[in-house]
Amino acid sequence: MATKDPHAIESLIGKLPRPKRIAYKKLDSFADDDLTYEKIEFPSEDEAIRAYIVRPKNKPTHRLPVVYCHHQHARQFFLGKREVIGRGGDSRQAYACALARKGYMAFAPDAKCFEERMIPGVKEELAEIFEFARLVSQGRSLQ
């Protein structure tokens, strides 16, 4: 049975967290014919994470629905967020741009051990294993 109560899901799964502002720093921005791209950096636990925000050029910068755009793995650690925004790798993976053209704000960060979150001095294919072991020993995970 459908309901119009926006809080109905909370009765099933518990109280949802309320939105909060996240402090971030804009590092770069550029645009093409119909999209605006911003490269940002924000703090998360013990590191600064870089991401792209892609949005329609002619829409307001606030109140757009946001979609988290995770990049593929494919053992291509040198690629990450750039692939989903169409700035590297397989152009068929540029779904953040497709979403932005539909009116969404796309949020595309690097996963641990990818692109700008690679571990310097560690062979790419071993980085996830080392990072996993390090985090598990601290009671944490790759997520």
Instruction: Please provide the average confidence, as pLDDT, over all residues in the chain.
Output: 86
What pLDDT score was predicted for residue 61?
Answer: 66
Mean pLDDT score, 53-68:
85
What pLDDT score was predicted for residue 133?
Answer: 87
Q: 9: Cβ–Cβ under 8 A, 6 or more apart, which residues? A: 16
Binned at pLDDT 50, 70 and 90, residue 76 comes out as confident
Strand 105-109 and strand 66-68: pairing?
parallel
Q: Which of 3-7, 26-30, 33-37, 45-49 has the lowest mean pLDDT?
A: 3-7
Q: What is the pTM of this model?
A: 0.80
pLDDT over 80 at 59, yes or no:
no
Rounded Cα distance between 80 and 10, Å, is 34
The secondary structure of 27-52 as a DSSP string is EEEEE-SSEEEEEEEEEETTEEEEEE
- Cβ count within 10 A of residue 64: 16
